Amino acid sequence: MDGMSMGSAAAFMIIGPATKITNLGAVKIVLGAKRFAMYWVFAIAFALLTGWIVDFAI
């Protein structure tokens, strides 16, 4: 198994679309600065948690 672990791939696939610059601009306009920061925190936390779960489950 060369390359990226399954958990890393899962986290990357989750966080990739959530951090596109066009999506981030739209989310910030719609949600405002405080909720935008919460969006960032929850997106990163969810991606990390999912990656760890996938790594430990396999």
- Per-domain residue ranges of the chain: 6-57
46, two tokens: 């969810």
| Whether the predicted pLDDT of 38 surpasses 70 | yes
For residue range 2-16, what is the model confidence (pLDDT) as tens digits?
A: 788 999 999 999 999
Residue 49 corresponds to which amino acid? L
pLDDT band for 49, please (50, 70, 90 cuts): very high
Residue 30 corresponds to which amino acid? V
> Which residues fall within 8 angstroms of residue 19, CB to CB, at 6 or more apart?
43
pTM: 0.80
| Whether the predicted pLDDT of 1 surpasses 70 | no
